[in-house]
């Protein structure tokens, strides 16, 4: 059986954009989230593990939330789920927050640190490294109708639409598989960040196709 670990943020967790202003976040149900659909699409010879977390960054400490640094959690995550055949990593949207003040290229560099940790680990079969599918995060939509969020992620549209060139260059330099999610999905007009239920299968099927091509 091939084990696939999906390591990401709220769009891997399955955040339902309808609840962006609710007292607490809610996720799309099993069978709707792209991770669930990916498992169904790949079939019984694959095991898909969800490792999404709201607010997760690449390598940064969130001053307003605890335990959001992907770099700090990744080693334990790899160790606890090994042996892992393939890691699907989609991170970077939360690095756009104003208190990090990072340009898109530096955000991709943060993803690169995690990618090298994965590719340099012994979390794969026979103590080798897993293979990596690096996924460029979706483009942020308009946040003008949510002024608090708009202030938190300034110039989100323009900055996130630069992600693909940096993430693709990173994948080429690492020799790993690459998928640009912006070619397949759009974020919800409700909150500009998360994926509606209708977008989940688009991402799932695109990732499944990439994973099959890796074998």
Residues of the chain scoring pLDDT < 70: none
pTM to 2 decimals? 0.97
Q: What is the per-residue pLDDT for 30?
A: 96
Q: What is the per-residue pLDDT for 20?
A: 94
Q: What is the per-residue pLDDT for 133?
A: 98
Residue with tokens 């010879």: 45
Helix extents (H) in 6-146 = 10-13, 34-42, 70-81, 104-119
With CA atoms as reference, report the closest residue to 58 among 48, 72, 47. 72
The three-point CA angle 88-90-96 to 5° equals: 165
- HSE (CB half, 13 Å, CA atoms) of 114? 31
Sorted by where each starts, the structural domains of the chain and their CATH numbers stand as 2-214 (3.40.50.1110)
Whether the Cβ atoms of residue 192 and residue 11 lie closer than 8 Å to each other = no
Which residues, at least 6 apart from 39, have a Cβ–Cβ distance to it below 8 Å? 46, 47, 48
Token pair, residue 131, equals 């293979």
pLDDT in tens, 52-109: 999 999 999 999 999 999 999 999 999 999 999 999 999 999 999 999 999 999 999 9
**Which phi and psi angles does 140 have, rounded to 5°?**
-70, 140
The number of residues making up the chain comes to 215
């Amino acid at each position: 059986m091939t084990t696939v670990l999906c390591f990401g943020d709220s769009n891997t967790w399955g955040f339902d954009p309808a609840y962006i202003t609710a007292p607490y976040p809610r996720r799309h149900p099993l069978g709707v989230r792209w991770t669930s659909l990916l498992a169904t699409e790949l079939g019984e010879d694959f095991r898909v593990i969800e490792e999404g977390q709201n607010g997760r960054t690449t390598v940064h400490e969130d001053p307003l939330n605890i335990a959001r640094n992907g770099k700090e959690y990744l080693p334990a995550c790899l160790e606890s789920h090994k042996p892992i055949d393939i890691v699907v990593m989609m991170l970077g949207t939360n690095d756009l927050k104003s208190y990090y003040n990072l340009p898109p290229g530096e955000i991709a560099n943060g993803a690169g640190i995690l990618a090298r940790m994965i590719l340099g680990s012994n979390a794969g079969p026979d103590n080798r490294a897993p293979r990596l599918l690096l996924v460029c995060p979706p483009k942020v939509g308009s946040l003008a109708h949510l002024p608090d969020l708009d202030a938190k992620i300034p110039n989100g549209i323009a900055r996130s639409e630069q992600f693909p060139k940096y993430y693709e260059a990173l994948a080429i330099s690492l020799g790993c598989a690459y998928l640009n999610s912006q070619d397949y999905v759009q974020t919800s007009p409700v909150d500009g960040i998360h994926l509606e239920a209708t977008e989940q299968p688009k991402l799932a099927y695109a990732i499944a196709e990439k994973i099959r091509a890796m074998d």
